[in-house]
Structure 1
Amino acid sequence: MEQLKVHNSLKPGPPVPFVPREEGKVSWYVCGPTVYDHSHLGHARNYVSTDIIRRIMLEYFGYKVKFVMNITDVDDKIILKARRQRLLELEKSKTYSEPELSKLAATAFESYAKGNLPELLNSSDGSELSPNNYIARRDAAYGKVLAGSTLTGEGKPGDAEAKMKMHLANLTAATKAIQEKKIFGGADEILLPYLDSLYKESIDGKDHTIFTDVTKYWEDDFMEDMDALNVMRPDVITRVTTYVPKIAVFVEQIIKKGFAYESDGSVYFDIAAFEKAGNPYARLRPESRNDKALQEEGEGSLSKNVGGKRGAGDFALWKKSKAGEPVWPSPWGEGRPGWHIECSVMASDVLGSQMDIHSGGIDLAFPHHDNELAQSEAYFCEHGKPHNWVNYFLHMGHLSIAGSKMSKSLKNFQTIKDALKKDYTPRGVRVVFLLGRWNDGVEISPDMRTMAEGWESTVNNFFVNVKSLLAEAGAGADIKSLSLNGSAHGLQEILEKSQAEMRAALSDSFDTPRAMRVLSELISQSNIHINTHKLDIDIRGLESIARWITKIVGIFGLDANASPPYDGLGWASSASNSKLTAKEIVEPYSAVYEKVTAEVKQLNLHSEVLDRLIGVDVDAEFSTLSSSGTKDPEVLAMPYLRTVSKIRDELRKLAPSSPAKKQILSLSDRIRDVDLTLLGVYLDDRTDDQGALIKFIPKEELLAQKEEKAAKEREKAAAKEAQRLAREKEELAKAEKAKVSPADMFRDERFSAWDEEGMPTKTKEGEDVPKSALKKLKKEWDRQKKAHDEWKAKSGV
């Protein structure tokens, strides 16, 4: 059996064997969200990909996984968001005169530009920036960026240009709001940082509800998004604000071991001391250890240019709180936890001094995860002996858009809610990520979505076809109770080969793109079998294949309505309503049956086959199914649908030789295109010997297909009409031209003399017409004479 191997960021290169600390069990910590705004597709990329791996480990490889996730509910971004939101609310409650409010907005406008887009302040005439001259200055200073280029015009745009666009968008919106005197609401993005600079010291840092009320709201919002994407809830959720006392104790221990120091109320990790003791730092991203921008980002926007550090790369374990920041007591005075320390403390508290897996987005590798490793290994090391805190680090590739990482700070994101409302289904999002490697980047593009839709459609159509063939073969039996096992035509051999390839793919560091290709190729071979063995289809082999594919897509989380061990067939239906009785569920189908049989009787076609079909006791067949306890609409409806389908098959056979041909064909089309379509049933017409195949397809999809077909017909008719009108116009033009006598066709300003037939002899300058030109003109004259003579003959002139 294949050995599971994984890409481990701690050991760059090919996948390495996965060997958990305890056989059959996996301890796993994942960095959860910082909750202060809507979750976007970048978050979906991280947590859906993580969920896919977790499901594969649980349900394919059979590990018992303890999955822990933290919620960051206090950090610099949250502090700014909550504090500014509170200050804006207070500002809106004040009474302002119109001039005072305009002055506030103008000052905030200039302050925002100065802090984020200084090029706007440059002016050849020395005038100050204002909403009135902003647009002209914006286009002059940042036109290249707005056009999709870089500020210098060289290279490709990246995060810097994305940030510029964000700030420009904020100022543009503020300009409009100020000019329309709708400042609150329209100019909030520029007011927030300005009000913060004025009043942040008025915020009581001991009142944690200012911050936790915001994070509780956004945590619930995040969880809603994860539920919508069918992401399993963690086994354990930890929150920073409930761990602050333990964090302080953890930091104290690191200080006692000589790997951290206090400076002016803050505590910093001492990288030099840690390395001097024989411990490696920046194990994940050694090339980034001196990246000042990443170091500052890791420390947070509220901690820039902090003094008192022994080394430039030393990072905060505990931060002395400044005015307007939340505070907790500590041995070093009032303060708050550093960003990185939270994960070390929470993960270790739940999972102990070692864990199998730690995961998160690739952008967290440095400094967050490298700092986590250092401080945790400093805490747990004994007698100078290095400690291994994490065995496997998994980093999910980020999602990018137009070359930039999708992020909240750049505001170049699409929220999960908007994506699910406008562009994707939850299954579609998951398919997109399955089609790419979990540790590779994904670029948002129309091609990516089209590819995912095509894959999903292929699988869905296969399930529909196999279920229809099984229902047909089962003569009304519940397809879940069929024990069909066989291997005719080599389908069993094909399935076993695919199963081995699936094992190899998932064992190779969860290679889901390869796994998805395995499923596609298996379906392709199955469809070839269906199309080439119409009269001797291996129903048993197809069922085995469809059930195995069902299990795999269930493991991949592609069916929110299914649950382990995924032993059904196809996407689980959410249409059945357990509150309804079997008779109520089947009522729409029986109504169509009654309607069709009544109309067929009125046709008086004198067909033994039709008489026999109409005489079938479908209610008795339904009662047998109902007594089994099933609530599956597809199963319960089959007696009625099968009879209606066979009646329609017979009508189509009788139509060509019947005096009632027109009525029969009209009824036949209506049954398929209206009656059954509205029930979410499609009749796939085959040869007369086989009859139509009953397929359950969502009504919305059938109606969409019907409208698409009608639209194409309308388009075709419109094109045909346009061609007809063009022909008529051309014929009319030809007729008008034919009316002109050849003797008059050249009598215009181009020439000055003509012979008796109207052929030109002199140019307008009085020179003889060249012989070469005369030859060409004579051909035109001959054609016109012929057309004119035909017109005269036709018109009787």
Structure 2
Amino acid sequence: MERVWQPPCGSCANGAAPGPQLVLYNSLVDRKVPFVPAAGPGSKQITWYTCGPTVYDSAHVGHARNYLSFDIVRRVLEDYFGYNCLFVMNVTDVDDKIILRARRNYLLTQYRQAAQDPAKVFADATEALAAAVAKQQRKVGEAQAALAEVAAESGGAAEKRREELATNLAQEQLLLGKQEAAAAAVAAAGAAAGAGKLLELAGDALAAALDKKLGATVTDPAIYRAHAAKYEAEFLEDLASLGCRLPTVLTRVSEYITEIVQYCEQIVANGLGYEANGSVYFDTQAFRSAGHTYGKLNPWAVGAAALAGEAADATGEKRHPSDFALWKASKPGEPFWDSPWGRGRPGWHIECSAMASSILGSQMDIHTGGEDLRFPHHDNELAQAEAYFHACPGGCQQWVNYFLHAGHLGIEGLKMSKSLKNFITIRQALESFTPRQMRLMFVLQPWERKMNYGEQAKEEMRSKEALLRNFFCNVEVVLRTQKVAATSQRWEEEEKQLQQALDAAQRRVHEALCDNINTQAAMLALCDLVKAANVYLSKRQDAAGPCPQAFLLRAAAAYITRILSVFGLCSAPGDFLGLADAAAAASCGSTEAVLDAFSAFRDTVRGLAKAKAPAAELAAVCAGAPDDAAAKAGSSGRAAEMLAAFVAFRDEVAALAAAGAPAGEVLAACDRVRDDTLVELGIRLEDKPDGSSVWKPEDPAVLRAEQEERRRAAAEARGKKLRTQLENKRKDLEKFEKLAALPSIQEALADKYSRWDAATNEPTHDKEGKALEGKALDKARKEVEKQKKVRAPLEKKLAEEPAFLQALAADIAALVAELAALGVRENGSA
């Protein structure tokens, strides 16, 4: 099938534009094409619709991949390229999944409250899981058959179809494995496990069984609305926690029923839809006959039942297998609204077409969503919109100019999915990562390609974050400590090289962002600039040479900050409202003054302690130490916090000096204020070999994480040493206990010799009673010596320490206890 896409007006006028032109990967043609707004080449007004959540469960990291990736793309278009975006996001609060999940949760809750007999719960769980396994086995068989059907087909479309059907089969097999594992776990647990444990193992299968039996009895519409409202609120909280910009317009299906009904009516009136028993279906064959193309985004999926996402047409109402529901007749146990066709509710796809058309009209610039929505959802959206505007002057052949699809987020080879139960919720992920770290992880990946949520992506993110943090801290130190008026500002070759690196980075970033908003390449350019600046700093930190040029470093840091703000990795103009707080800016200077005085005071205290100076010198340093800082700080919030910590530390040092404490205690106090007090205040204090120190602002969570990693590494190193000692001592104990358990030499040789000399403890007669002489006596003496050598190590130890074995056992017990205290197992795992 030929795939048609029309470049927006003006994109080819007057030849190529000077410099790189912004291009986007358009799923309508699966290639990069120039981006030109529908309003015209020179316009900065664009429209954008994104498929929002179906609010039936908590959002997971796969959803974050979609919404964060397109938040980054949106920010680049708005903050870098200067577009003004009318951004519309829908919330699907009426949908099969929501209805099913709300109903099942309600029924399972009722069942749980009434579950008193574990034997009955066990029987019900076993039956429900058997049914679930059998159903899933059928689905696996259908997926295998669908894949087998296209096995012999050739061509690019066939290959695409095979790839998607193979992925579908793998997903169905994964789900079957999980259900079989649950059935085995229930069988192994038995009724003795108790109702709670059985419900934990078989809850989903039980809910499905209860829904099949009792679903029609759940008629209260508040049950469905409450379920959707809960997860909508959670989703919006997740967006805020991830730092995503809010949409201009938020549309809910439940608030656009009137528009949806009217949309369906118009499609029917245009001859491209039909009513059947209270439902309305889209007529794909009439749509094609009218000159439209069905399946623009994913033509190879058209006709594949396994990929269509529609329930089997058991009623026979459809005119063609590819037809899909616009409006569904009401069934028992479902919410409904009145319509010209009777009570019912919207189909899966109609909501987006109707709501987007209501806000944006007959054409939009950009439509986004996850890769899994290409077919059938987005293809059906396009068809519905073209059918709705079919009778308008000029018709509608291209409702969306640019369709952008975010690549799947994979985990263990399959996409992260609620149905597969292989997902990590956004909230769970934010227990391990900060919002900035998660955003950075996606910035470092091309938005349109598949991404694996694995250690490689996480490690790359951590490495880049550490590089940037260290760079900004180093520049901040130069800006804070260098007195520009007292240093030469002459540029040498090193400054020219750094400026060239800045120029190159700016050019590379622009080219990368023009090229399909390639944030991965842009970040690589920024990191290369950081490395060039680090090389420059290392050259300029030689005390004998010129100082680093603060203005040039600030220019490089300011550019990097600007691009990071475009990506949402630090605050951008679009992220806050109103005017900046001048008082906050003034407070920043006061805080720096306190920290400068604080670190200088601590440096002095450490120097005196290391030199074992008299207590009187320490006391003299403490006398009035914060006064200068207090005068500079006033009483502003952040500075006041720092000043309070300064005073507390001074008081602690003064008390130690008054008590004549040893130098080690004073040094320990210096370490505590660095590792505890300042960490909680978000300050990294680095001690330098010359006895001075430098402070750098830092996220307390990052500092705590570093401390925990150091503690873990130290515990691991200590644990390794202890395990070696423990292993050696256990070997010794085993060896010496075996020696202690040996019989006496006479007992050991009793089968060879019958009489022994009491004075020499040597054998005198063989086992038959014959006296030993000559070679026989020499042999006997050698055997005795051999026995003595075996026992000699134990005898020596016991001679040195009679309670040697008891002491060795006590050492082993102490080592085991110390390993346990470190949180390290004896086998080496934490």
8 Å CA contact 2:645, 2:677 repeated in 1:
no
Residue in 2 aligned with 1:223? 236
Deviation at 1:550, TM superposition (A): 1.6
> Which residue identity lines up with residue 96 of structure 2 in the other structure?
D
- 2:423 aligns to what SS in structure 1? coil
Identify which of 12, 22, 30 aligns with 1:4: 22
Residue in 1 aligned with 2:263? 250
Residue in 2 aligned with 1:451? 460
1:77 aligns with 2:91: no
- 2:442 aligns to what SS in structure 1? helix
Identify which of 398, 401, 419 aligns with 1:409: 419
Identify which of 684, 687, 691 aligns with 2:686: 684
How do 1:334-733 and structure 2 match up within 5 A?
Answer: 334-381=343-390, 382=392, 385-420=395-430, 422-473=431-482, 488-534=495-541, 535=543, 536-559=547-570, 562-564=571-573, 603-604=615-616, 617-622=628-633, 633=639, 672=674, 676=678, 679-686=681-688, 688=690, 691-699=692-700, 701-702=702-703, 705-706=706-707, 708-709=709-710, 712=713, 716=717
- 2:342 aligns to what SS in structure 1? coil
Deviation at 1:185, TM superposition (A): 4.9
1:265 aligns with 2:278: yes
TM-score by length of 1: 0.74
Change (3 A) 1:264 1:732: closer
> Which residue identity lines up with residue 113 of structure 1 in the other structure?
A
> Which residue identity lines up with residue 65 of structure 1 in the other structure?
C
- 1:158 aligns to what SS in structure 2? helix
Deviation at 1:289, TM superposition (A): 0.6
8 Å CA contact 1:27, 1:65 repeated in 2:
yes
Residues 694-750 of structure 1: per-residue CA shift (max 9 Å, x gap): 22334554455456546555655665677678899999999999xxxxxx9xx99xx
> Which residue identity lines up with residue 317 of structure 1 in the other structure?
L
Identify which of 340, 349, 352 aligns with 1:331: 340
- 1:26 aligns to what SS in structure 2? strand
- 1:117 aligns to what SS in structure 2? helix
Name stretches of at least 5 consecutive residues in structure 1 with no aligned partner. 122-153, 477-482, 568-572, 649-659, 738-743, 752-780
8 Å CA contact 2:175, 2:420 repeated in 1:
yes
Distance 1:664 1:77 in 2: 64
TM-score by length of 2: 0.71
Distance 2:442 2:115 in 1: 53
Segment of structure 1 superposing worse, 579-588 or 493-502:
579-588
- 1:7 aligns to what SS in structure 2? strand
Deviation at 1:563, TM superposition (A): 3.4
Distance 2:238 2:393 in 1: 46
Identify which of 65, 86, 91 aligns with 1:66: 86
Segment of structure 1 superposing worse, 279-288 or 528-537:
528-537
Change (3 A) 1:108 1:485: farther
Segment of structure 1 superposing worse, 320-329 or 49-58:
320-329
Distance 2:732 2:267 in 1: 94
Change (3 A) 1:677 1:217: closer
- 1:106 aligns to what SS in structure 2? helix
Segment of structure 1 superposing worse, 32-41 or 240-249:
240-249
- 2:49 aligns to what SS in structure 1? strand
Residues 296-330 of structure 1: per-residue CA shift (max 9 Å, x gap): x1x3x5x6534121111011111112222222222
Residue in 1 aligned with 2:209? 194
Deviation at 1:29, TM superposition (A): 0.3
Segment of structure 1 superposing worse, 335-344 or 467-476:
467-476
Deviation at 1:618, TM superposition (A): 3.6
Distance 1:283 1:223 in 2: 32
Deviation at 1:174, TM superposition (A): 5.6
Name stretches of at least 5 consecutive residues in structure 2 with no aligned partner. 1-18, 139-165, 654-661, 739-744, 753-784, 800-830
Residue in 2 aligned with 1:288? 301
Distance 1:42 1:274 in 2: 34
Residues 6-58 of structure 1: per-residue CA shift (max 9 Å, x gap): 00001122x11000112101100001111111111111111111111111111
1:114 aligns with 2:114: no
Instruction: Please report the RMSD computed on the Cα atoms of aligned residues, expressed in angstroms.
Output: 5.4
Deviation at 1:196, TM superposition (A): 2.0
Residues 168-214 of structure 1: per-residue CA shift (max 9 Å, x gap): 3554576558541348954542332222222333343xx53332121
Deviation at 1:264, TM superposition (A): 1.9
Change (3 A) 1:712 1:346: closer
Deviation at 1:434, TM superposition (A): 1.4
> Which residue identity lines up with residue 696 of structure 1 in the other structure?
P
Segment of structure 1 superposing worse, 210-219 or 279-288:
210-219
Change (3 A) 1:74 1:109: farther
> Which residue identity lines up with residue 199 of structure 1 in the other structure?
L
Distance 2:177 2:405 in 1: 29
Change (3 A) 1:177 1:70: farther
For this pair of structures, how many residues does the alignment match?
Answer: 699
Distance 1:566 1:331 in 2: 45
Deviation at 1:598, TM superposition (A): 8.7
Distance 2:206 2:437 in 1: 39
